[in-house]
Amino acid sequence: MRLILLGPPGAGKGTQAEYIQKRFGVCQLSTGDMLRAAVAAGTPVGQKAKGIMARGELVPDDVVVGIISDRIDAPDCAGGFILDGFPRTVAQAEALDRLLAEKSMALDAVIELAVDETVLIERIEKRARDSADGARTDDNAEALKTRVEVYREQTAPLIAYYRNKGLLTRVDGMAGIEDVSAEVVRHLEAVV
């Protein structure tokens, strides 16, 4: 199963991706987690990404496409993968299409977790308060505003991109976590 979880910051992509990973035995590929690990390890990618992430902006497309291309056909992803936080721009989606075609792979589904902006701002503010230890420096108030704007301007166009390919399903991300999971599973069982 090869799947994309699409949705604004705070929509619950990470929570749902973790659930799907366990339920279907696919690997969870979160570019945000990989970039945070690179920042923590002080790698060249991490050094490049650190300031960009702290501001809530997007890391350059070639950087994230590079880290994803290294992972999608890794042995631990043989059962499939769930992309969480990637792609985030149309250019990334096009690069992913090319990568998958090269490897004779195809996407099974793109699930949009839909959440109203007011609700997601409350959620992200809560996450920022809960991580006051600085574990997530990209969750500060200013970065939050930027992240929501960046989503609206650069990532939301992917909804139409994948709808046009007949891959998109919209799930109400404002329902309870378990209800969202149940809805996602129901859809995945229908497509795979």
Q: Which of residues 103-162 bind ligand AMP (CB under 6 A)?
A: 138, 147
Residue 1 to residue 21: CA distance in whole angstroms: 10
Part of the chain binding ligand AMP (CB under 6 A), chosen from 16-24, 87-95, 98-106, 111-119: 87-95
Segment near ligand AMP (CB under 6 A); pick from 19-27, 83-91, 106-114, 127-135: 83-91
Min CB(12)–ligand AMP separation in Å: 12
The one catalytic residue among 48, 55, 71, 127: 127
Stretch that binds ligand AMP, among 18-26, 52-60, 166-174, 176-184 (CB under 6 A): 52-60
Catalytic residue among 36, 50, 123, 147: 147
Tell me if 88 contacts ligand AMP by CB under 6 A. Answer: yes
56 binds ligand AMP (CB under 6 A): yes
User: Given the complex with ligand AMP, which of 12 and 85 has the nearer CB atom?
Assistant: 85
Cβ distance to ligand AMP smaller for residue 149 or 189: 149
Determine the Cα–Cα distance for residues 155 and 88; give it in Å rounded to an integer: 5
DSSP structure string for 75-91? GGGTT-EEEES---SHH
Position among 5, 26, 39, 58 found at the interface with ligand AMP (CB under 6 A): 58
Of 184, 130, 137, residue with least CA distance to 18: 184
Residue 150 to residues 84, 89, 140, 143, Cα–Cα distance (Å): 16, 10, 15, 10
Interaction between residue 11 and ligand AMP (CB under 6 A): no
> Do strands 2-6 and 109-114 pair parallel, antiparallel, or not at all (unpaired)?
parallel
Report the largest interatomic distance among the alpha carbons of the chain, rounded to a whole angstrom: 44
Structure tokens belonging to residue 35: 């970039």
Q: Can you tell me the distance from the alpha carbon of 171 to that of 183, in angstroms, rounded to the nearest whole number?
A: 7
Contact residues for ligand AMP, defined by CB under 6 A: 9, 31-32, 35, 52-53, 56-59, 64, 85-88, 92, 138, 147
